[in-house]
Chain A
C-alpha cells in the first residue's frame, strides 16, 4: 500500500513539474554580502530609475555593505529609515511605458521560476530582424533592455553581463526574503534539537513499552 501511494505521489509530482512553458536558465543565487552589495548598486543605479523597492529601507542597503557615500547619494535628504521609492513618479512612468513599473521588493518570489525567471528575463533581450528589441521570456514586456544585452556576442562582455544579472538576481532574492539566512541557520538548530528529542523519545518509548508483558 505504501509503495502504491509513494508511486502515485511521485508520478503526480513528476508530471506536474515536467512541463515548464519556457525553459528558464538556472542561476546559482549568491548570499555573500559583497555580491549582494554589488547587486544593490546596480539595482539602485539602473532599476531604481523606474522601480521602487518599497519594503526595503536605505539603512538595510548600508547594512549589506554598500558604501555610506553611495547610500547618502541615493537617499538625498531622506533619513536612513526611508523606504526606497522609484526616482520616477508612478504616473510619469505609466505615461512613458504604458504601465506603472512594478515594485521590486518581492519580485524574486512573485513570478513562476522565481530567481531563475529574473535572471533569464534580464538576459533574455534580443534584437529582432526588424531592429526592435524583444524578450524571450516575457514577450509583452515594456521594460527596455537596461543591461544592454541584445546583440552582444563578445564572450568577455557576455560573461560580465551574466555576472551582473546574477548579482541583481541575488540582491532581489535577498530583498524578497531578508531573513532567509537567519531562518536557515536557526532551522539547523531547531532540527538538531528535534533529532535529539525524537531519538530520546524513541528509546524511552521502547524501554517503557518493554515493561509490558508480551501477549
Chain B
C-alpha cells in the first residue's frame, strides 16, 4: 500500500530520489568532528524559534498600551505560556551561541575557501537577518531596555549624510520610538524568520552542491565519504541531546539570565535607564561603535565589523588547506582574534571610561588588522611553511585526495 502510494508520487515528483540523494545516501566526509554539528543545531534553533514565536504571537499584542501586559498575561495565565516565552527568549541567545560557533569553526578550518565562498556569503546574509530579527524582537516586550535599545540603535542611522533624520523617521514610523515602531517591528519580526528559512534553503542547496568541508580541508576520496544516514543522523541526534541538555538547563533553571532587570519595567520614554546596553551577542560590535570618537566613523566601523567576514575567501591567500589545523600562524591569528572578540564583548558591557577606552580602541584596531593583514601574512606563512617542508600528514592527504579537488602540493611559492 505504502509502496504503491510512493510509486504514484515518484512518477510525478522525485520524492524518493530527493530523500535518497539529499538525505540518506548524501555523501558526507567520515572525519567530521563535533564542530560540524552546529549547522544542524542552528536549523533546530530556527525551527524552535519559529514554532514558539507563532504561538506567542497568538497572545501577544503589538500595542504600546498592551504589549508589556500581554507578555505578563502569557507568562502567568496562558497554559505553558511561560515555557513558550522562556524557550523563545533563551532561544534568541542560543541562536547566536550556535551560529557564532558555526562561524568560528568555518574560520578555524578556513572552510570559506573555494569552492565554498557562496556557503560563507549566504551564511553571512543569514547572520545579518538573524541580527535584524533579534533586534526587532527585543523591542516587543516593551520594557525599558527594549525601548531605549531601539531608540539608541535606530538613532545610529541618523548619521547617514543628507537623509539621516528621514531614514530614522522612516524606520521608526514616528519622531521617536512609539506605537508605529512597535507595530512595524512586530510585523517584520514575524516575516523575517520565513525569509531566513528561504535563505537557509539556498545555503543548503549550495552545501549539497559543494558538499561538506572537513577538518583536512581537502575533498576526501570517495571511499572516505559515508552516507549521511545512519552515521550522521545519529551523530546529529547525539549532538542535539547534548545541546538540549544545556539549553533546557537555562530555560528551566536560569531563564532570567537573558532578561535584563530593566526590561521588567514597562517602557517609559521620560526615564532613561542609567546604563543602556545591548544584548550580549551585539556587545563586541557595540564596543567597536563606541571606540571610534566620531559617530559616523563609529557606525561605519560597526557595520564594517559585521560584514568584513565576507572578504575572507579573497583575503586568505594561502593555498595550504585545512586552515588552522595545518597553519601555525593562522592558528595563532585565529586564537588572538577570538580572544579579541571576547575582550571587545567585555568592553561593550562596561561604561566607556578610564583605561577601557584606549583598550577598546586597541582591540578594535586588532580586530580590523586581523582581516587587512591576512593577505600578506597568509602569503608569507605559506612561503615559510613550504620552505621548511609541509607536514607529513598533509602530504599523505594530498595523495588520497579526490581528483576534483583544487588543493595540491604545487601551489604557492614552493
**A interface residues, Cβ below 8 angstroms from B:** 1, 4-5, 8-9, 12, 15-16, 55, 102, 105-106, 109-112, 114, 176-179, 183-184, 186-188, 190-191, 194-195, 197-198, 201-202, 204-205, 208-209, 212, 215
Q: Are A208 and B230 in contact (CB under 8 A)?
A: yes
Cβ-closest 7 pairs across A and B: A187-B252, A198-B241, A110-B264, A201-B238, A205-B234, A109-B264, A106-B264
Q: Are B234 and A204 in contact (CB under 8 A)?
A: yes
Q: How many whole Å from B232's CB to the nearest CB in chain A?
A: 10
The segment from B131-139, B307-315, B337-345 found at the interface with A is B337-345
A106-B72, A111-B261 given; 9 more Cβ-contact pairs under 8 Å: A8-B343, A12-B346, A16-B349, A102-B265, A109-B264, A176-B264, A184-B253, A187-B248, A205-B237
Q: Which of B268-310 contact A (CB under 8 A)?
A: none
| Chain A CB within 8 A of B256 CB | yes
Q: Given the interface contacts A179-B82, A183-B83, A198-B242, does A8 sit within 8 Å of B342 by beta carbon? A: yes
Q: How many whole Å from B221's CB to the nearest CB in chain A?
A: 10
Chain B CB count within 10 A is highest, among A15, A105, A215, for A215
Q: What are the residues of chain A within 8 A of B184 when measuring CB–CB?
A: none
Q: What are the residues of chain A within 8 A of B69 when measuring CB–CB?
A: 55
In Å, the complex CA distance between A1 and B105 comes to 12
| Chain A CB within 8 A of B47 CB | no
Q: Are B261 and A109 in contact (CB under 8 A)?
A: yes
In Å, the complex CA distance between A16 and B257 comes to 14
A188 and chain B: residue at smallest CB distance: B252
Q: Which of B206-249 contact A (CB under 8 A)?
A: 224, 226, 230-231, 234-235, 237-238, 241-242, 244-245, 248-249
Q: What are the residues of chain A within 8 A of B248 when measuring CB–CB?
A: 187, 190-191, 194
A113 and chain B: residue at smallest CB distance: B261
Q: What are the residues of chain B within 8 A of A194 when measuring CB–CB?
A: 241, 244-245, 248
Q: What are the residues of chain B within 8 A of A12 when measuring CB–CB?
A: 342-343, 345-346
Q: What are the residues of chain B within 8 A of A209 when measuring CB–CB?
A: 231, 234-235
Q: Are A184 and B252 in contact (CB under 8 A)?
A: yes
Per DSSP, chain B at the interface is helix
In Å, the complex CA distance between A102 and B265 comes to 9
Q: What are the residues of chain A within 8 A of B255 when measuring CB–CB?
A: 183
| Chain A CB within 8 A of B169 CB | no
Provide 20 A-B residue pairs closer than 8 Å at the C-beta atoms, listed in order of the A residue.
Answer: A1-B335, A9-B342, A16-B349, A55-B72, A110-B262, A110-B265, A179-B75, A184-B252, A187-B248, A187-B252, A191-B245, A194-B241, A195-B245, A198-B244, A198-B245, A202-B241, A205-B234, A205-B237, A208-B231, A209-B235
In Å, the complex CA distance between A126 and B345 comes to 39
Q: What are the residues of chain B within 8 A of A114 when measuring CB–CB?
A: 256, 261
In Å, the complex CA distance between A131 and B15 comes to 84
Q: Are B249 and A191 in contact (CB under 8 A)?
A: yes
Identify which of B76, B241, B264 contacts A201 (C-beta below 8 A). Answer: B241
**B interface residues, Cβ below 8 angstroms from A:** 30, 69, 72, 75-76, 82-83, 86, 224, 226, 230-231, 234-235, 237-238, 241-242, 244-245, 248-249, 251-253, 255-256, 259, 261-262, 264-265, 335, 338-339, 342-343, 345-346, 349
B345 and chain A: residue at smallest CB distance: A12
Q: What are the residues of chain A within 8 A of B339 when measuring CB–CB?
A: 4, 8
A4 and chain B: residue at smallest CB distance: B335
Q: What are the residues of chain B within 8 A of A1 when measuring CB–CB?
A: 335
In Å, the complex CA distance between A190 and B69 comes to 29
Q: How many whole Å from A173's CB to the nearest CB in chain B?
A: 11
Q: Are B252 and A202 in contact (CB under 8 A)?
A: no
Q: What are the residues of chain A within 8 A of B343 when measuring CB–CB?
A: 8, 12
Q: Are B252 and A205 in contact (CB under 8 A)?
A: no
Identify which of A112, A179, A215 contacts B224 (C-beta below 8 A). Answer: A215
Q: What are the residues of chain B within 8 A of A208 when measuring CB–CB?
A: 230-231, 234
Q: Are A212 and B226 in contact (CB under 8 A)?
A: yes
A201 and chain B: residue at smallest CB distance: B238
In Å, the complex CA distance between A141 and B235 comes to 57
Q: How many whole Å from A209's CB to the nearest CB in chain B?
A: 6
Identify which of A111, A179, A190, A195 contacts B76 (C-beta below 8 A). Answer: A179
In Å, the complex CA distance between A5 and B104 comes to 12
Q: Are A5 and B235 in contact (CB under 8 A)?
A: no
Q: What are the residues of chain B within 8 A of A5 when measuring CB–CB?
A: 338, 342
B30 and chain A: residue at smallest CB distance: A212
In Å, the complex CA distance between A15 and B342 comes to 13
A60 and chain B: residue at smallest CB distance: B76
Q: Are B235 and A205 in contact (CB under 8 A)?
A: yes
